[in-house]
Structure 1
Amino acid sequence: MNIQKSFLARAEQSTGSLYLVATPIGNLEDMTYRAIRILKEVQLIAAEDTRQTRKLLTHFEINTRTVSYHEHNKRASGPELIRMLLEGTSIALVSDAGLPAISDPGADLVKDAVDRHIPVIPVPGANAALSALIMSGLPTERFLFAGFPPRERKAIMKWLEELKDRKETLLFYESPHRLEKTLAAMLECFGDRTIACVRELTKRHEEAVRGTISECLAWFVEHPPLGEFCIVAEGTDGETAGAGDEDGAWWSKLDLAAHVAHYEEQYDRKEAIKRTAADRGLPKRDVYNEVNR
């Protein structure tokens, strides 16, 4: 059992606190007053990249001592940071951008701090995945952040296969040089469901490309992707099942006309035919010819 009271008076607390401080993901105006205050008040800042963090600290005239904590030195640095926290030093953990401990080694430090009853206090702010989600136009009631897809084809197909039947909206991060390969793998595994590819969040060239996977893939073939991306993909609700899901699929007892009619309750006829074709793994022309006899 572990009960944390984050804001005990300093005299009542035997350890320092570990603050998880969000930093801007591109636009310096997204830095919060509280984040600036905490970074000035703590005795130490543990940064994923001290050079990158120093630019931020200089901009806001923050002179707190900074040390390095990242994937390659966490086994050595982590225990030392825990020792300092136990001795009463308060430390702020920051990543290069956004919330620390999301897809970075900060999660290991947090676990070690929690195990030793050291208060872990979030200082919220910018986050790329949630920012992309709320501007995507896709459902926000339930979502799953899946991080970066694997690089190898066999691994990414297995990874996508495990995700394709999830009902939640799915969130991925991807680099520009891998984006097209990832979208092609998604199209093959998921079928042609709706997605949003959001890049350069909060920066001058912020852009959201929304449409079906095939439409977005075609766009990026013509417009080579630049900047870091967050992919937001609709979950399956039975209506977005891929071509390989015919057994037991929601539409399995419908003829083509009824299948298209179902989608026409939400979309125009062209989109309804496209989605029906994607569900059944048929060419759009065949579906069009069948329902327009």
Structure 2
Amino acid sequence: MAVNQTNTETAAEIKAEINHPPQLRAARTRKQSIIKFVILFFTLGFLFVPLLSMLLFTLRHPLSGRWSAAPWQAIFTGNGEALGADLTVLWQGLGTSLALCLVTVVIMLLLMVPTMVIVHIRSKALERAIEWVATLPLTIPAIVLVVGLGPIYRWLSADVLSTNPIWLCFAYVILVMPFAFRAIAVGLNSIDVKTLVEAARSLGASWPRVFFRVIIPNLWQAILSSAFISIAVVLGEYTVASLLGRMNLQVALYQLGQSNSQISTAMSLLALLFGVVLLVALDLISDAMRKSKEGK
């Protein structure tokens, strides 16, 4: 009875909507459009007004009020002596961060992808346990992680490795693990991994062949997502590198800001722009891969 009554009410609502005059439907559409525009306007304002303020700060001298593109010219020419800034530390931090991005992504993929694929096939209970471990860094502040990692890095620097900032990759793998796990997990849940594996094995394919020729091609989008998100996290990381006394891009920007805040702000805007380019590239690659699959 309750189901029939609900169906009757739904049908009545649909009929009433159809019978509305065109003027009322047009007015409702205009009202919805206005509401969407207001929400979008305030959201974009909240996001872009600070960025616009940063851009204006890089172009207008804070004391004299004189407009100049000298900070941007210093970055692209590599010469900041005229503005009293030594850009050597900036290029050192940028090179270190790019190297850290590469090493961190490689270690993360080698660690996460095979583990998650095997666990996804073999044990759902163990998959939940790994999810708990992988997402645990989200609940632990970076400064708390440094307290635990500090003695380990002191021992590694003194007895095993050097003080080269590249070894921050081990700490960064921990930081990016929650984001990488979620991206790869979405990819695994979007395909029927067990059926693909069973079909490939029944046709005589070895496990390495199943992994590289069957599973990985279906996970490319998830792998790219995890890689790009990891790069964005590594480029924006400051706390761990600063407290461990290592140089990366964010530490270099902080030090550069002590001598010339305009150049530091301009470089921060470029780093943000690079992150946006990564996200747009991910979206374009995902669309291209989806269209390629649909075409086949």
Query: Could you state the TM-score of these two structures normalised by the residue count of structure 1?
Result: 0.21
Question: Could you say which structure has the higher strand fraction?
Answer: 1
Larger radius of gyration: 2
Higher relative contact order (CA closer than 8 Å, sequence separation 6+): 2
Query: Could you state the TM-score of these two structures normalised by the residue count of structure 2?
Result: 0.21
